[in-house]
Structure 1
Amino acid sequence: MAKSERKRALRGRAGRMKGGRGSGRASAGHVRLWGRHAVEAALKNPVRQHRKLWATREGIDSLDGELPPDFPVEYAEVQDLARLVAKDAPHQGLVLECEALEDIYLDDVLDGEADRPLIILDQVTDPHNVGAILRSAAAFGAAAIITQDRHAPPESGVVAKSASGALEVVPWVRVVNLARALDEMAEAGYWRIGLTGAAESTLADALPSGPVALVLGAEGEGMRHNIEAHCDALAKLPITRAIESLNVSNAAAIALYAVATRET
């Protein structure tokens, strides 16, 4: 069946959204994603379990590929979709409710490709920053991001939209104790570099040729003292005095680029 015919068939089966106002939250135990890149990546993720897609016809037409014949789609107007997401969220005519991704464990990552860096986030709680870091992690081939479960945002539409599809491809490991996780990384052969503007050495000077774990703290507070103590080296990015510091997501992107282009 041609793509245009396929989409006409979907439109014929889909119902119209019926009334009601949403809070932007999914049903208990589920996640609501929005925006073309986030929704499209989730639909293409074979391990993601989907519940329902609300969409405008233009939103469906923007997707790359075709939905399964029995996929639950409900057509809606733009203003109806706005009731399903966070206030003023750019849903682009697509809202997907699905199961949260299954937990990924640190051991699974440490047993993988050691030539790909790890990103460790110490109390980075802004979902926009975490999403942007996921996007950079995907762009520069990071193996995973690791956060503490109590001091990081949950999987959400905001994270997914900021990640622009990377939430579906970059493993996100949540650990109970970040210091203990750093010890496990050291045992697996990773050189742990904490990024801080107070360091003497630049990142380029501190980078080894082997496996690297980059540790970044929250904006303002930076890394906690205990986390700094679990790093093998502290390093800074060579920014000018014209600005005090970089946004944590920008710093992560620059650090990942440095790792990707280092001479081995």
Structure 2
Amino acid sequence: MASPEAQRIRAGLFRFPPAADIAADRAGWEGWAATQPLPADVTETTPAYGGVAGRLISPPDLEKDRLVVAFHGGGLVSGASVTHRGLAAMLAKATARPVFVPDYRRLPETAPEDVRADGIAVLAAARSAGHLTVFADSSGAALALAAMQDMARRGEALPDRVVFLSPAIDATLAGDSFEANAEKDPTLSHVSLRHWQSVVEKVAPLDGPILSPLFQPIGGLPPMLLLAGSDELWRDDAVRLADRVTAAGGTVRLSIYPDMWHVWPMSGDMPETAQAMAEIAAFVG
């Protein structure tokens, strides 16, 4: 059962309407996020890795030669480093590592292959920094997974650990939870996700390697931690990825959080957020 804090937060949630105007949706989200304060004990800088700019959130007493690269969600059409700076700060403090959130190029104005190229460039550059953990939420996991699959095919060095929070890695929406959780998910709806499909399928096939890397070869990837909410429409993307990694002989841990929704740690301070951060910290070591 959800904590009292989570129940209060959930009562104030609403289902996101379809983003009819992408530019306005981006500006609204980014403008609001820029006004939100970060914890006083973290620092924020704006470096670039592999030629891709972003935000680096660093905690006090950080561990040297250890980095987290966090690919933000937003359907690959919205979201930015500024929208995920709060989540990055939570990760940084929980793991005692700096967290870099890249501002990769987005669909639909950028070719899908170029979006993936940004992901590869960031990971290749960050890999040289030492121990590397890849974190991604929602559709950021599609970019991260697609980039790692391409790097694995070419025999390039991969990250040491992978953490996906509410991964959205099947743009065809074929998971059973898409129907099973239609009335349970408090933030996502069939209407909003079908509209999103209509936007991205103009530039990339829904079942292709960038939007749906779940259907691509899974073998040879780093150990993974997958976290998902029991009530979210995307839940079974995490379940199916865990099954595929296990079948391929990989290492994976799947945690389904009861009564939680899509990327719940971004919704506020509650025990379930603290639990997720603690689990991530324990996994990355």
TM-score when normalising by structure 1: 0.32
Say which one has the larger Rg: 1
Instruction: Identify, as 1 or 2, the structure richer in helix.
Output: 2
TM-score by length of 2: 0.31
